[in-house]
Amino acid sequence: MAKRNVMVTEEMAITAAAAGKVANSSSSHFSFPPPRGNSGSVNFSNFKKLLTQLEINGSSGRIHGWVDSMKASSPTHIKSGSLLASPVAASHDEEYENWMKQHPSALKIFDEITAASNGKQIVMFLDYDGTLSPIVDDPDLAFMSENMRSAVREVARRFPTAIVSGRCRDKVYSFVQLAELYYAGSHGMDIKGPAKQPKHTKAKAKAVLFQPASEFLPTIDSVYKALVTKTESTHGAKVENNKFCVSVHFRCVDEKKWGALAEQVRSVLKDYPELRLTQGRKVLEIRPPIKWDKGKALEFLLESLGFADCNDVLPIYIGDDRTDEDAFKVLRDRGQGIGILVSKLPKETSASFSLGEPAEVMNFLRRLVDWKRLSHKERGHHPHERLGRLGIK
Ligand SMILES: [Mg+2]
């Protein structure tokens, strides 16, 4: 039987932070670009070691262990006894403040970000759920506000912009409804460029349609149907067909039933040993066995836009979930670009900066648009002295 590893969950990361695992930061100063690696940041290595040994296809005891961890760290349980009583209380918490020193608000260091883009083309990558829209109980109702849509439209007018989501591409498009964007659905396994090439796209940019997991479509469709049938007895369980991957949502299921639901998923996957299982925010995701993720999608899109091996590009990636970490890691490893995690709680992340919630993402996008407008008016003026201070050539 093939073993499947389960990724560290957001909830578990919260537990680790609540348990006081956030290392003290000795200084409020941060360097830009930020140092690579997580030294001095959050120490989750023990949690990771434990969790990466968790096998969803193993014994039912392991399944229950996973469910217990998720329950223990869910907001209702956290309220009763841990250090992080709520996102609001967390803002007063020493660990949270330390974490914020390590991952400053992108709004607070906005001027430094724009200074770093001097002479470079900003390319914007945006996750959807929890980044542009609030997380809601029913994933079919995760609408973005008209104000947010307008902010994204304005950004896309000025910079190549892509939405990178775990959802089916058509579904994300139905929420965002902006034809001028690139869309990477199914965690980047379904990428399509805008119908019309925006004027800021490089001449060597290619028309994009990329579906590296096409051969698995029948398998994914089959496992989707099997999961729907198997889980229909669990009230609140929702199976979402994301075309190249499948999500089983736990959000509306009574916590007491989480173990049973995870068991149902496990029993279906026994017949699909080639598929991979990963975990996100109260969701289990079933994926094809290809090495493709949001980080690979980011690299693919940069190349498609004509920015392969270029120094004159500044990718900015904003996302809130574990799957976005693959993109943050790519930026960190390239030593290029800016990763921004959307979170009100301390979490292990490879992102350098943070924003608290979608409303702050919207503010950030608007400021970027305003800055670009202004810099057009004052063409030629760049704050060189600031760049020197930040050690950026
Ligand atoms: Mg998200």
What integer pLDDT is reported at residue 76 of this predicted model?
A: 44
Classify 258 in phi/psi space as left (phi over 0), alpha (psi -120 to 50) or beta: alpha
Q: Are 273 and 2 in contact (CB under 8 A)?
A: yes
Among 27-31, 156-160, 219-223, 269-273, which stretch is predicted with the lowest mean pLDDT?
Answer: 27-31
Q: Over 90: is that where the pLDDT of 185 sits?
A: yes
* Residue 60 pLDDT grade (very low, low, confident, very high; cuts 50, 70, 90): low
d(CA 325, CA 340) in angstroms, rounded, equals 10
Active site residues: 127
Concatenating the DSSP letter of every residue in 305-339 gives TT-TT-SSEEEEEEE-SGGGHHHHHHHHHHT-SEE
* Residue 379 pLDDT grade (very low, low, confident, very high; cuts 50, 70, 90): low
What integer pLDDT is reported at residue 152 of this predicted model?
A: 98
Per-chain residues with Cβ under 5 A from ion ligand 1: 127, 129-130, 320-321
Q: How far is the CA of 212 from the centre of ligand 1 (A)?
A: 22
Q: How far is the CA of 133 from the centre of ligand 1 (A)?
A: 9
What integer pLDDT is reported at residue 121 of this predicted model?
A: 95
Q: How far is the CA of 378 from the centre of ligand 1 (A)?
A: 36
Q: How far is the CA of 129 from the centre of ligand 1 (A)?
A: 4
Closest CA to 249 of 227, 226, 282: 282
Q: How far is the CA of 322 from the centre of ligand 1 (A)?
A: 8
* Residue 93 pLDDT grade (very low, low, confident, very high; cuts 50, 70, 90): confident
